[in-house]
Amino acid sequence: MKPTAFALLFLAATHSFAQDSIMPTPEQVDFLGITNPDKLSAASKRALKWPNVGNEWFVEFQTQDLKGDLAYEEGVVRRDPSAMIKENGKYYVWYSRSTGPSQGFGGDVEKDKVFPWDRCDLWYATSPDGITWKEEGLAVQRGEKGAYDDRSVFTCEIMKHDGTYYLCYQTVKSPYAVRVKNQVGLAWANSPEGPWTKSKEPILSPADNGIWEGEEQNRFRVLKKGDFDSHKVHDPCILPFKGKFYLYYKGEQMGEAITFGGRQIRHGVAIADHPKGPYVKSPYNPVSNSGHEVCVWPYNGGIASLITTDGPEKNTIQWSPDGINFEIMSVIKDAPHAIGLNRTADNEKEPTEILRRGLTHQYKSWNYQYIRRFTSRRVVNHTAKGEKAE
């Protein structure tokens, strides 16, 4: 069998890598535990290229139940919490809410509930301490039949800017078929309690350069995959940055594959001069090789990003000086799902201060999820029982 072009390129790259002349310093040899500096394995060569960023970006997470109305309730889906903000002496959070079980794609997608995040509206809750919550009610509702958001509005994020509150969120237009293309909507209000005004059109849509194969509702059959976001744009988050507004989002590609890192999921960014847009996708997209739910925050003049769940760089914290070119700063253990950050935190205190506490969601079952809280701590050493830390 003839080797493929990819295989030939891989062999050439491997051969070239093996021939690299790398002379580690004595300090590197000692720290990395290298046996023979003149006989370096591929693993040792990679380790010698790692950045020396210390341990200030390394954290471990724990999760706990909430009290009050956001505790688990049978028959109700509450998921994808936004960031927490504090107004009028209390915390606010927004989230996706639906009721009843999901049927999947096997039945009538016009009438059934396909996913837990199908047939959702956005609700909000308040808390004096971020632990005990009161569900306040509906914030943003699905659109009227025929609108771009008539099926579901979900996975929202909050931003306050110049006295106005902005909720960006994911939308689906009915019917919720396998090949449906998700978009991003926006709502704004002068108070965290509304009323909310919705954008008449999406502020972000998938790339229009993929080509489906045939008419069957099969998302893996394509003639052309297109850009990383040719199928769906998910999990939006808008941050003010360098005098503009950066809308970070998750992209799903038509014909999405499973690679050596798992699902092909990447993040992109679109930039606008005003929170309401228009948003223009960066020509450098995608800005990540991995990820799932978007979790980004400003730090040290740049943007930090927690990358989870999917892809070869999952479970890393990354940082970019310009909001586009991200580098890995730490590799962490499994992080909570769908993190809602505590935007009241002093995120400049240290790189991961904003991760000390916040919200997440957890699957009780495939049909039902509920919102919980998380905490984290920096880990700078490890000791056995009775042993004194350095």
By DSSP bridging, strand 67-68 and strand 132-140 are parallel
pTM for this entry: 0.93
Q: Residue 365 in 3-state DSSP?
A: coil
For the segment 225-238, the average pLDDT, to the nearest whole number, is 98
pLDDT score, position 390: 74
DSSP conformation letters of 272-294: ESSTT---EE-TT----SS-SS-
Checking if the pLDDT of 14 tops 50, the result is no
Question: Which two three-digit tokens encode residue 378?
Answer: 């920096």
Give the contacts of 315 (CB within 8 A, at least 6 positions apart): 307, 308, 331, 332, 333, 334, 335
High-pLDDT (> 90) share of the chain, %: 89
Q: Residue 8 in 3-state DSSP?
A: helix
CATH domain 59-378 topology:
Tachylectin-2; Chain A (2.115.10)
Give the domain ranges of the chain: 22-52, 59-378
pLDDT score, position 86: 98
Q: Per-residue pLDDT tens for 194-219?
A: 999 999 999 999 999 999 999 999 99
Q: Which CATH architecture has domain 22-52?
A: Orthogonal Bundle (1.10)
CA-based nearest residue to 53, from 289, 319, 321, 325: 319
High-pLDDT (> 70) share of the chain, %: 95
pLDDT score, position 389: 79
pLDDT score, position 19: 46
pLDDT score, position 179: 97
Distance CA 77, CA 370 (A): 6
CA-based nearest residue to 313, from 327, 296, 297: 327
pLDDT score, position 9: 38
Question: How many C-alpha atoms does 159 have within 13 Å on its Cβ side?
Answer: 23
pLDDT band at 51 (very low <50, low <70, confident <90, very high): confident
For the segment 83-88, the average pLDDT, to the nearest whole number, is 97
48-62, 86-100, 118-132, 255-269: which has the minimum mean pLDDT? 48-62
Q: Per-residue pLDDT tens for 144-157?
A: 999 999 999 999 99
pLDDT band at 22 (very low <50, low <70, confident <90, very high): confident
Angle (CA) 6-226-296 rounded to 5° is: 95
* 42-49 vs 5-18: helix crossing angle, rounded to 10: 80
Checking if the pLDDT of 227 tops 70, the result is yes
Q: Per-residue pLDDT tens for 100-130?
A: 999 999 899 999 999 999 999 999 999 999 9
Checking if the pLDDT of 11 tops 90, the result is no
CA-based nearest residue to 156, from 3, 312, 379, 371: 371
